[in-house]
């Protein structure tokens, strides 16, 4: 019987955190959630209303929340006891909404108000036996945030940070330019680690190969976090589309191998999060652990929570297995919460002490019993 020992991790989490603040950038969205039952039934009802020339569609639940990978990752880090600094660009209305929707202890002194509000309508519904979210977005200033948008105060904060996380690049039209300029400065002028999560590039596929060629292959990023879909995009870019990787999404048996291939080709640390397991790969060394089995009440934001746990574990210099367990636990607590609340360190420790069950599919994929 496979069992993970959590005592070492719990002991580490029970200590004080002394690392310098991490910096998270650059996106912020206002998210309008439309929560429905079945997706196909919702579309049928929409078609009926459209065919009658328009009208009101009832029976869905709506929520307005703080959105964007950067604010949500920063929020999760704050709950875990760190003091993250969020750098983003919006308009005055967006800045006011961000203040209203964010913990008052969050450092928002680096929010720029000379941009345009980004917003997303996220439709959450049941499809093929799982909850999915379909996001319809206006990228606002997330589309054109550039290195030149960073003020002197921003740059000082970045130089003094422990880690710089560049997220949500899938909305940015010049993602590789932003990443290369920022990470080159970080490596030259600070001791901070560089962390990147591209996000799903299916709506902006032109960013992937420049990120691979100008950022990843150049050694400018220390850690790249990705899910199985993003791994597929990176593989296509690495191999110049010479092989069809579309089957990767439907074949979980290939996911770990994909991360190992990306790391072997580039030399970077690849941190992979999937519904069934997570893994960290660096060169020829890989560690993978199953995810926790929890009923998902929240669809959007699981990756941000996982990244927060991964970042905390990295800054704590945890053993790789412990870091992955921590990231999985933070994500599990978030997705199982009824109100999309990020867990505290104490809540994560309590969760681990409860001996939570692990994904049977994850254990099968990793060949453990």
Tell me whether residue 217 is exposed, middle or buried, using C-beta atoms within 10 angstroms of its C-beta: 0 to 12, 13 to 18, 19 or more: middle
pLDDT higher than threshold 50 for residue 1:
no
Q: Please state the pTM of the whole predicted model.
A: 0.93
User: What's the pLDDT tens digit per position in 235-288?
Assistant: 999 986 556 666 777 789 999 999 999 999 999 999 999 999 999 999 889 999
> Containing domain of residue 206, as a range?
7-29+66-119+140-365
Strand order in the sheet with 118-127: 61-67, 29-38, 118-127, 130-138
Asked, for residue 147, whether it belongs to a domain, the answer is yes
Q: How far, in Å, CA of 302 to CA of 326, rounded?
A: 13
Q: How many domains does the chain have?
A: 1
In the chain, where do the E strands start and end? 23-25, 29-38, 61-67, 85-86, 88-89, 111-112, 118-127, 130-138, 163-167, 193-197, 223-226, 269-273, 277-282, 285-290
Element (H, E) at 150: none
Asked, for residue 42, whether it belongs to a domain, the answer is no
Asked, for residue 36, whether it belongs to a domain, the answer is no
Q: What is the CATH number of the domain that holds 263?
A: 3.40.1190.20
Asked, for residue 124, whether it belongs to a domain, the answer is no
List phi, psi (to 5°) of 306. -60, -45
Asked, for residue 190, whether it belongs to a domain, the answer is yes
User: What's the pLDDT tens digit per position in 284-340?
Assistant: 899 999 999 998 887 778 999 999 999 999 999 999 999 999 999 999 999 999 888
User: What's the pLDDT tens digit per position in 3-27?
Assistant: 678 999 999 999 999 999 999 999 9
Give 214's pLDDT tier (boundaries 50, 70, 90): very high
Asked, for residue 134, whether it belongs to a domain, the answer is no
Closest CA to 354 of 336, 367, 340: 336
Asked, for residue 131, whether it belongs to a domain, the answer is no
Q: Is beta strand 163-167 parallel, antiparallel or unpaired with respect to 23-25?
A: parallel
Asked, for residue 50, whether it belongs to a domain, the answer is no
Token pair, residue 96, equals 């006011």
């Amino acid at each position: 019987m496979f069992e993970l020992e959590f005592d070492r991790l719990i002991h580490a989490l029970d200590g004080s955190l002394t690392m310098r603040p991490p910096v998270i950038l650059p996106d912020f969205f206002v998210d309008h959630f439309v929560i429905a039952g079945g997706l196909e039934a919702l579309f049928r009802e929409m078609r009926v209303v459209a065919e009658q020339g328009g009208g009101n569609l009832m029976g869905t639940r709506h929520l307005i929340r703080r959105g964007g990978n950067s604010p949500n990752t920063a929020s999760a880090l704050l709950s875990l006891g760190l003091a993250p600094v969020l750098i983003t660009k919006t308009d005055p209305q967006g800045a006011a909404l961000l203040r209203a929707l964010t913990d008052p202890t969050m450092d928002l002194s680096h929010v720029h108000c000379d941009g345009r509000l980004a917003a997303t309508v996220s439709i959450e519904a049941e499809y093929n036996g799982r909850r999915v979210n379909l996001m319809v977005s206006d990228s606002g200033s997330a589309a054109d945030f550039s290195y030149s948008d960073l003020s002197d105060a921003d740059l000082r904060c970045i130089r003094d940070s422990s880690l710089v996380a560049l997220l949500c690049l899938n909305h940015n039209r010049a993602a590789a330019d932003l990443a290369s300029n920022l990470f080159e400065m970080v490596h030259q002028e600070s001791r901070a680690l560089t962390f990147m999560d591209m996000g799903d590039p299916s709506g902006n596929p032109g960013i992937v190969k420049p990120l691979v060629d100008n950022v990843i292959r150049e050694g400018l990023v220390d850690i790249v976090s990705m899910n199985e879909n993003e791994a597929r995009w990176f593989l296509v870019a690495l191999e110049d589309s010479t092989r069809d990787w579309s089957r990767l999404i439907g074949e979980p048996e290939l996911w770990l191998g994909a991360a190992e291939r990306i790391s072997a080709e580039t030399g970077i640390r690849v941190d992979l999060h999937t519904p069934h397991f997570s893994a960290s790969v660096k060169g020829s060394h890989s560690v993978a652990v199953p995810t926790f089995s929890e009923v998902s009440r929240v669809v959007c934001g699981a990756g941000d929570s996982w990244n927060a746990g991964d970042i905390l574990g990295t800054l704590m210099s945890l053993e790789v297995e412990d870091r992955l367990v921590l990231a999985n636990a933070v994500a599990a607590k978030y997705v199982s919460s009824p109100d999309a609340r990020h867990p505290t360190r104490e809540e994560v420790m309590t969760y681990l002490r409860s001996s939570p069950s692990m994904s049977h599919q994850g254990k099968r994929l990793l060949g453990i019993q």
